[in-house]
Structure 1
Amino acid sequence: MSYSERQTFLLGSNRLQLELMSLFISDRTNVSCKVISDLAGITCCLDKKHLILYDSKCWKDNLKAEFDSDLKVHLRGSFLVLINVSNNTGIESEALRQGVRGFIYEQDTTDILLKMIHAVLSSELWVSRNVMTDYIQATNKRTPQQNNLLGLTSREIDVLTSITLGRSNEMIAEKLCISPHTVKTHIYRIFKKINVSSRLQAANWSSQHLYL
């Protein structure tokens, strides 16, 4: 797949690391890269879905305050991935809630970096199952009134949650104590309500809408 019309913006304080990463990405993909000092550098590009690699080490102490500022504006026009994430910091759930599409950890390899770029620019999430499980458990405390606003029944939300976790129809049926045929019926209705055609699209939709 060609990403020649896409651009990757790298933002952080370690300029040398970002410059080297930019050269590597440009050499291995068709993606044009640019190291920027602040978010103003991508203002003119909001008409396309570009990729922002944001160094998590540069965030201010208050994660939510950072998102509530000008970063949220750019999330609407770009895919945001946090890089240099330390294990066990617990920032993933809040980041996902705010629209982050993936995470690159300090120990990740260059191969993982390239796979992430391909996945995220293909409108996929780059999130481990464990992180997604923690996220759903943390955000599944929404009230029924909030969920009903989405037009989904409580059972459909249960099924959609299982889809997001990567469970098969058989696994969903066993967990919810319903028949596989009933699972298929729920999935058909979910896809129709949220206007998607695949399980991956349904998982992406839930990360952006259902658990905000």
Structure 2
Amino acid sequence: MKNMDVMLLSTSCIQSQLMKELLSESLGPSVSLVNQQTLTYHDWNRPALILVDLANLPDSSQPWEEYLRSMKDHISTVLLNTQESISAQKLLQWPNVYGYFSHYEDQETLIKGLAKVLEGEYWIPHSMLIEMLLYLQSIKPITTTSIELTSREIDVLNLLSNNKSNTEIANELFVSEHTIKSHLYKAFKKINVKNRMQAKRWARCNLPLYEN
């Protein structure tokens, strides 16, 4: 993971500024501080490692979370200040996740773990890796010989199954409401449903859901 931009995604506050300075001094590469708004304006001309500070970010689904998922070919993530009970499903929502640190982790362990991640290693307990593998094996295929959904159609159906309106889906995916209607029309034809209720039921039975 050399030659990567390293960014701390957090709110702009004293604690996050101190965290940024500590990480920059301890890890070598300079760490930049970004928030939910400035993140979406970043120029992704180099791969990036995003340190997601969950303690200082909203805990509900937000548009910037979907934006991160859309940038999965350019970024890797590490979660900071997670709850002790984080699940494999929740962890796998984050693009190319390389590790996580709970809110009670001491400074020495945090620096050691992040240094390992920067060397290209994972900082995930063996038990969690097994849980992640079992979860991935349990997911039903999202395409069949007769149904081939695009990645964006899958995103839209997943959000629809989480009871999002067309306006909310459009905001999360940074597209127009007309575009969402077009995706839904094409997806409905592919999965052979006639309305949103049927589409929700199909998605919940056939697609891995994003956990809120």
Asked if the contact 2:77/2:94 (under 8 Å) is kept, the reply is no
Alignment of 1:49-198 (within 5 A): 49-57=47-55, 58-62=57-61, 67=65, 69-90=66-87, 92-99=88-95, 100-143=97-140
Corresponding residue for residue 30 of structure 1? 28
- When residues 27 and 66 of structure 1 are mapped into structure 2, their CA distance, relative to the original with a 3 A threshold, is closer
Structure 2 distance, partners of 1:23, 1:84, is 17
Cα RMSD, aligned residues only? 3.3
- When residues 123 and 54 of structure 1 are mapped into structure 2, their CA distance, relative to the original with a 3 A threshold, is same
Unmatched segments (≥5 aa) in structure 1: 147-210
Shift of 1:49: 2.4
Aligned residues, how many? 145
Corresponding residue for residue 198 of structure 1? none
Asked if the contact 1:6/1:49 (under 8 Å) is kept, the reply is yes
- When residues 54 and 62 of structure 1 are mapped into structure 2, their CA distance, relative to the original with a 3 A threshold, is same
Percent of pairs with identical residues: 18
Structure 2 distance, partners of 1:24, 1:17, is 11
Unmatched segments (≥5 aa) in structure 2: 144-207
Shift of 1:19: 0.9
Asked if the contact 2:82/2:102 (under 8 Å) is kept, the reply is yes
| TM-score normalised according to structure 2 size | 0.56
SS in 1 for 2:138: coil
- When residues 39 and 81 of structure 1 are mapped into structure 2, their CA distance, relative to the original with a 3 A threshold, is farther
- Name the structure where helix makes up a greater proportion of residues: 1
